[in-house]
Chain A
């Protein structure tokens, strides 16, 4: 079963605007990762944040993690049409298991 929930389920914004999506999870984690999935293509790893980190940046991406609230957010700044995709958070547990537990995803549409 899925652990995480993403919010919103779908988001449409104008090109150039910022997009923020949120993820909540239920159990203790080792790290949290964000993935992008385009139609018909595989998952692409975007960024990883460890449980002892609070914020991380990579290019136009900014991720925050609040372990007390069991939540994370992904901010994409200055959005581009090519950012149109589904975005998933995925957690790796603290219990030595290597598997990832994915959220339900946010469908992001960038309007040119």
Chain B
């Protein structure tokens, strides 16, 4: 059974940093691209970042470029999102999702909540 479990969310002050993790199981993690998607309270889905199966290619939404870094450790079956210079508008539930190729997103995690507040 494919499982994606996010962790690392919590309360952080504006300007602070946080690292999210997404632990994958039930499939060959190194064979799939992975994505981060977020959802602010009461709002729609927003694309955040993507990484290729081997980590060699990464992409970011303009809203997070230069502040967030996506990475993965295929030996640990884990996806990461390092978030820095956090702003109030970054407050959201962050989901990781698996993709076959770049464009076939299939499985999603349950999300982890990031709260940015002083």
Q: A and B: partners?
A: no
Residues of A within 8 A of B (CB): none
